[in-house]
Structure formats: structure tokens, C-alpha cells
Amino acid sequence: MKRKAKILRKTKETSISVEANIDGKGKYNIKTGIGFLDHMLEQLSKHSLIDLNIKAKGDTHIDLHHTTEDSGIAIGEAIKKAAGNLKGIKRYASAMIPMDETLSRVSLDVSNRPYLIWKVDLKVEKLGEMDTELFKEWFQAFSQSAGITLHVENLYGDNSHHKIESCFKGLARSLKEAFTIDKRIKSSIPSTKGSL
């Protein structure tokens, strides 16, 4: 079964299309209109090996909130749809990602019970043109729409760019592991309930 999906999210505030291939090679074509967000989503694709084709237009003349949040929603929806029935996935994963002086940990459960724990303190108000408070909004939106329990922690570090980038890379590596098919259970759901 091919684990691919397309999503189109259209509101009065944004228009976003996402194509996702969980079994890809980390190829991406990302245009959100927000340079720093593009950079982070490129990291997400590259290190998860999930191919992502994302095009977003939003009311960035107001601010970047709607485009940031809605991109998280649309990417989460696309990955959830692509994942299908979840048979055989490893389900749980965790990654520790160093980036120079920074170390971050991302742990997740593809549980269909979305929840976000966010323990990331940033010293600056903006990275590029993005308000740093928007990163939590992106991870929250992604977690909710993907149906993933997600714990994101920056353990230490000084540079805010490094902190956020290590979080996106940690999410990427955790998604790669969690969605890997375990050949020993490839025809069953990884839960004693029999469903996720």
C-alpha cells in the first residue's frame, strides 16, 4: 500500500495544499511565503524522509499566525491520511538532536490521542520574520491534526535558531522511526485495544 496523501485546506485566511509521501526520500518543494518556516519544513522533510510538496498563501499582510498554524494543520492531516490504517507501524519514537551548543529531545506516540507538551524557552521575539511564539502554535496544530502525542523539550542551549531547528529535526527523526513498518507485526495494529 502506498502511503501518500493530498490535502487542500482553504479558508478565508489561508489556502494551503500539501502532498505527503511517508515512504519517500526526503524530497521537498515548500513555499509558504515565510522564509524561516520554509527552512524548518525543509528540515522536517529531509530528516524524516517524508516527501513534502507544500504551497501556502495566507493573510501575511496581517501577521504570520494563520499561515503558520494552518500549515501545521494541513501537514498533520496529510500525514495522518497517508499513514492509513496504521497496521505494523512502530508507533513510538524518540530522538535526541544536538545542534552545536543545543540539545533537544522529541518523543512521540502515534496514538490518535493528540497532546502537546512544549518545554522550549526562546530568548528572542523573532527568528527571521517569524514571531517565536508561533512555533508552539505550529507544533500544537500539527499534533492535533496528525493525532499524535508529542513531547518537545529543549534540554539546553543558547541560540534560538539552533533550539527551534533541533526541535524540527527531532520531530523529523521521530516520525521516520514511528512510521517505520515492523515486519513482525505488519498486519496488526500496535495496541492491545486492537485500534488506535
Q: In tens digits, what is the pLDDT along the chain, a chain of 196 residues?
A: 799 999 999 999 999 999 999 999 999 999 999 999 999 999 999 999 999 999 999 999 999 999 999 999 999 999 999 999 999 999 999 999 999 999 999 999 999 999 999 999 999 999 999 999 999 999 999 999 999 999 999 999 999 999 999 999 999 999 999 999 999 998 888 888 888 8
Q: pLDDT at position 153, please?
A: 98
Contact assessment for residue 116 and residue 69, using Cβ atoms and an 8 Å cutoff:
no
What integer pLDDT is reported at residue 195 of this predicted model? Answer: 84
Which one, of 47, 56, 45, 61, lies nearest residue 16 by Cα?
A: 56
| pLDDT confidence of residue 186 | 83
Domains of the chain in start order, with CATH, are 4-185 (3.30.230.40)
Contact 182, 188 (CB under 8 A): no
Which amino acid does the sequence have at 105? R
Distance (Å, rounded) from C-alpha 159 to C-alpha 44? 19
Q: What are phi and psi of 76, to 5 degrees?
A: -60, -45
Residues 55, 59, 65, 66: what is their CA dihedral angle, to the nearest 10 degrees? Answer: -60
* Number of neighbours of residue 96 by Cβ within 10 angstroms: 14
Cα 22 to its chain centre, rounded Å, is: 12
pLDDT score of 157? 98
How many residues in total does the chain contain? 196
The DSSP result for 106-146, as a single string, is: EEEE--S--EEEEE---SSSEETTEETTHHHHHHHHHHHHH
pLDDT digits (tens, 9 = 90+) for 116-144: 999 999 999 999 999 999 999 999 999 99
Q: What is the pLDDT of residues 65-76, one digit of tens each?
A: 999 999 999 999
